[in-house]
Each structure stands twice: as C-alpha cells, then as structure tokens.
Amino acid sequence: MAGQRIALQHMFKNISRYWWCQIIGWAVNIAISVFFVSTFGKPSKSYFISLILTCVLGLFITHIMRFCIFYLKVLEKPIKKQIIDFILLTLVFSIFFGFISEWVDYFIGYNPERLQKFSRSERIFLSSFNALWLVLIWNLIYYIYHYIESNRRQQLDTLRLEAMVKSLELKTIKSHINPHFIFNALNSIRALVDENPQRARTAITELSNILRSSMQAEKMETVPLKQELDIVKDYLALEHMRFEERLKIEMNIDGDTLTQPIPPMMLQTLVENAIKHGISKQINGGLIRISSAFIDNHHELIVLNSGKLNGYKPEDSEEGFGIKSTQDRLNLLYQGKANFQIHDVEGGMVESKIIMPVSNIL
C-alpha cells in the first residue's frame, strides 16, 4: 500500500501545470453543465455520456490548438498579428469541435428530436456556435496567462539586469583608477614640488580631474568623446612624468567624432591597460596612439600600444577586468550593436578597438 501511495504521489507530481489546468477546467465545465441541466430538468443517461465524451474530446482538441499556437509561434508575433491568429484559430477549432461534437451525439443517439428537427449542416452550425464560447474562453485564459507570465519573466529579467548593471558598475568604478597609478602620480608630484612647483600644481589639477571623473562615472551612461579625451590627456600627462622620454603619445582624432557619446572612463581604462600591460613591460618604453573616426557608419575608437598579448586573456585575472568590463558595458549599453576587439598587430603593437553605432544626438 505504501509503495502504491508513493507511486501515485510520484505520478501526480509528474503532471505538468498545463495538464492540471486542462483537467480541472474541463471537469468544472462538466460540473456547471450538470448543475444547470439538473436544476431545470432531469438529465438522461445519454446526456451524461455525451457531455463526458465531448469534454474529453474538447481537452484533446484544445491541446491540438495549443500545439498549433506553438508551431505557428503565435506568441512571438506582434500583438496585432497575435489577435488575428487568435480569432482565426478560435473560429477554425470551434468548427472542428462542433463537427466532432455532432458526430459524437449522432454516434450515441443523443437527443433524437434534434436529429429530426434540424438538418446535418444546421446541427453542425449550432454545435459549432456552442463550441465557439468554450474555445473562446479557453483561448482567452491561455493568452492572458501567457501575457501575465511573459510580463513576470520580463520584470524578473529587468531586475536581474539591473542587479548585474549595479554590480558591473561597482566593479567598473573600482577598476577605473589603479591605486598604483595614484601612488606613482603622488610620488612624481612630490618630486616636483621643489624642482618645478608650477608643474606640480598642474599635476595636482590633472589628478583631481581624473578622480572627479571616476567618481561621477557611475551617474552617467555616456559622455562626449571630447570630455573623455580631456581625462585621458590628464592621465597621460601624469604618466609621462613617470616614464618621461620612454612614453611617446600620438593622437589621430577626427573632429567630427568629438561629440559622439561613449561610456565614461572606457577610453581611460583602455589607455591605462595599455600603459600597465604594454609600455611598462618594455625596457625602452613605447608608443600609445589613440584614433577616433567614422568607418562604415560606425564610430571606431582605437588604442594602439607597444607590446604583445602573448596569449594573455584579460578575463583570466582580476588585473584584466578593465578589458573584460569593456565588452560587458558595451553589450549592456548598445544591446549587442557594439563590439570590442583586442589583438596583436604588425610592428610589435597591440590594438584595442571599440566599434559603436553612430549617434545623431549631439
């Protein structure tokens, strides 16, 4: 007995929510029909047989209709197309349901007076009209359920995305400014205080600008390229104090791209990565070239630096998070329409390229 009980429990657990709704829904339809017929008269045995067979057939007919909804991908279409398909499916399966119901009644000999009073086509029409309300109600419940479920999933996805964005923003902000850079900049400034006070004051201003921008980055989705370039120039000016002649800087900026929006601190992150993993590893230093141009209706932003990747994958370590976060931020902001690439190029250089859609908003 215990084994049978466990087997039954296991069987019931394996029944999906959809089938439970189907079974309960058609059982309720039987109960309501019996209640009303019993209230106003005495139903015959053939009535019960007809009702049960019709509801069982209705269960499988609506299941076939559900299969058609999935096969035709109705729920993935625009709302207007969904409504049209909803009406067509309701009409088609109402006629099908009416035809089957009439065949069942004829087969079991239910309501012979009706058989004599109406022609076959009239009986099929009446049965189809009665079935129309059942199919319509079934479809309404089915579509409303999926509409609510779709909204619920969308809200959950939105919440997950917001949580991911907040987490990503926090990590990105933390990765904006390398603490070692701040220490190096402060040491360089300290050395300049007596030697070149004016340059020391300028360096403090540059460092202040960078820190302020890093703190404000989480409040903005994008900033004009010109604003980002100002921060990068301050950053490179501070690094130039440390590397001196070992660091060469070139900029090739199309003036028309200066108003293009880009994620804040993204270019600075790439330049910092180029200094940390490229220039600092070269005994004789090297070159950093920053380019910005419109190519094939896209905005291309390129950071070229001396060095080699040597199979290095930034996502394999915390140190390379700035590179990994670049693609993540682009995906979130441009919904897959932007791309990030980093690879070795000829001449012992590493190229970091960001390709973004062109914005018409100035």
Task: For residue 106, give the amino acid letter.
Answer: Y
Which pLDDT score is estimated for 362? 43
Q: Is the pLDDT of residue 304 over 80?
A: yes
Q: Is the pLDDT of residue 152 over 50?
A: yes
Note whether 265 and 172 are within 8 A (CB).
yes
Q: What mean pLDDT is predicted for residues 288-295?
A: 94
Is residue 214 domain-shared with residue 353, that is, in the same domain? yes
Which of 81-85, 152-156, 213-217, 349-353 is predicted least confidently? Answer: 213-217
| pLDDT tier at 294, thresholds 50, 70, 90 | very high
Region for residue 348 given its phi and psi (left: phi exceeds 0; alpha: psi -120 to 50; beta: otherwise):
left
Is the model more confident about 104 or about 111? 104
Considering its fold, how many domains does the chain have in total?
2
Q: Which domain covers residue 217, as residue numbers?
A: 177-357
User: How many Å apart are CA 265 and CA 246, to the nearest integer?
Assistant: 24
Is residue 190 domain-shared with residue 235, that is, in the same domain? yes
Q: Is residue 249 part of a domain?
A: yes
From 123, 155, 187, give the residue that closes a domain.
Answer: 155
Is residue 214 domain-shared with residue 290, that is, in the same domain? yes
Is residue 54 domain-shared with residue 189, that is, in the same domain? no
Is residue 37 domain-shared with residue 76, that is, in the same domain? yes
Q: Is the pLDDT of residue 82 over 50?
A: yes
Q: Is residue 161 part of a domain?
A: no
User: How many Å apart are CA 239 and CA 235, to the nearest integer?
Assistant: 6
From 155, 187, 211, give the residue that closes a domain.
Answer: 155
CA dihedral 271, 277, 282, 285 (to 10 degrees): 10
Instruction: Count Cβ atoms within 10 A of the Cβ of residue 121 and give its class: 0-12 exposed, 13-18 middle, 19 or more buried.
Output: exposed
Is residue 113 domain-shared with residue 194, that is, in the same domain? no
Q: What is the DSSP code (8-state) at residue 95?
A: H
Q: Specify the CATH number for the domain of residue 351.
A: 3.30.565.10
Q: Is the pLDDT of residue 134 over 60?
A: yes
For residue 234, what are the CA distances in angstroms to 70, 301, 327? 58, 18, 24
Is residue 230 domain-shared with residue 138, that is, in the same domain? no
Q: Could you report the per-residue pLDDT of 306-359, keeping only the tens digit for each?
A: 988 865 554 444 444 456 667 777 877 787 788 898 888 888 899 999 999 987
Which pLDDT score is estimated for 288? 93
Q: Is residue 6 part of a domain?
A: no
Which pLDDT score is estimated for 260? 93
Handedness of CA 102, 107, 112, 116 (dihedral sign): positive
Is residue 84 domain-shared with residue 187, that is, in the same domain? no
Q: Is the pLDDT of residue 135 over 90?
A: no
For residue 137, what are the CA distances in angstroms to 73, 131, 134, 144? 20, 10, 5, 10
Q: Is residue 171 part of a domain?
A: no
Is residue 78 domain-shared with residue 113, that is, in the same domain? yes
Note whether 250 and 348 are within 8 A (CB).
no
Q: Is residue 170 part of a domain?
A: no
Token digits of residue 123: 């009986």
Which pLDDT score is estimated for 192? 74
Is residue 49 domain-shared with residue 197, that is, in the same domain? no
Mean pLDDT of the chain: 79
CA 42 to chain CA mean position, Å: 58
Q: Could you report the per-residue pLDDT of 46-72, keeping only the tens digit for each?
A: 778 878 888 888 888 888 888 888 888
User: How many Å apart are CA 278 and CA 354, to the nearest integer?
Assistant: 18
Residues above pLDDT 90, as percent of the chain: 11
Long-range contacts of 325-328 (CB under 8 A, 24+ apart): 325/168, 325/171, 325/172, 325/175, 325/269, 326/266, 326/269, 326/270, 326/354, 328/168
For residue 178, what are the CA distances in angstroms to 14, 74, 77, 225? 54, 52, 48, 22
Token digits of residue 347: 């001449």
Is residue 204 domain-shared with residue 332, that is, in the same domain? yes
The residue ranges of DSSP E strands in 104-257, in sequence order, are 223-224, 247-253
Q: Is residue 172 part of a domain?
A: no
Q: Is the pLDDT of residue 256 over 70?
A: yes
Which pLDDT score is estimated for 20? 83
Note whether 222 and 261 are within 8 A (CB).
yes
Q: Is the pLDDT of residue 78 over 80?
A: yes
Residues above pLDDT 70, as percent of the chain: 80
* Residue 226 neighbours by CB under 8 Å, 6+ apart: 258, 259
Is residue 190 domain-shared with residue 337, that is, in the same domain? yes
Token digits of residue 36: 């009303």
Q: Is the pLDDT of residue 137 over 50?
A: yes
Instruction: Count Cβ atoms within 10 A of the Cβ of residue 76 and give its class: 0-12 exposed, 13-18 middle, 19 or more buried.
Output: exposed
Q: Could you report the per-residue pLDDT of 172-227, keeping only the tens digit for each?
A: 554 555 566 677 678 778 877 777 888 888 888 888 877 777 666 556 778 899 98
Which pLDDT score is estimated for 321? 47
